């Protein structure tokens, strides 16, 4: 679902130190990880151009029952994971080190309004 406010809150939490090791970054790697059965949640940057680059990801996420959300900008997403390079999409996988924050994010994503 699309919700810029939730994406902003997610970014502001600055969980990059804990999540840095347990994430998959980039459209190709995220799609490959989802197809291989990785579980977690996906965050997609909303300023990707052309949109065809990421248009298959929401469908892929829904097919594999993986929650996803959008954040406004690639730069914000890259900074949130501790990178100076903009990032178009990431897959955050579950880990005991940040179990409570992970559950909070999953709950927040599931509470977003559906487009259907």
**What confidence score (pLDDT) does residue 65 get?**
92
- Classify residue 16 as left (phi > 0), alpha (psi -120 to 50) or beta: alpha
Residue with tokens 């052309």: 50
pLDDT at 5 over 70: no
**What confidence score (pLDDT) does residue 64 get?**
94
State what percent of residues in the chain have pLDDT above 90. Answer: 26
User: pLDDT digit string (tens) for 23-79?
Assistant: 788 899 999 999 999 888 999 998 888 888 889 999 999 999 999 988 888 988 888
Q: What pTM was estimated for this model as a whole?
A: 0.76
């Amino acid at each position: 679902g699309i919700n810029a406010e939730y994406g902003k809150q997610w970014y502001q939490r600055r969980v990059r130190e804990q999540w840095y090791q347990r994430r998959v970054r980039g459209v190709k790697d995220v799609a490959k990880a989802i197809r291989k059965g990785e579980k977690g949640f996906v965050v997609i940057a909303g300023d990707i151009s052309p949109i065809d680059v990421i248009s298959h990801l929401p469908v892929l996420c829904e097919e594999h029952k993986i929650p996803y959300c959008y954040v406004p900008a690639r730069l914000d997403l890259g900074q949130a994971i501790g990178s100076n390079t903009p990032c178009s999409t990431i897959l955050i996988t579950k880990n005991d080190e940040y179990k409570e924050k992970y559950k909070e994010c999953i709950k927040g994503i599931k509470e977003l309004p559906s487009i259907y």
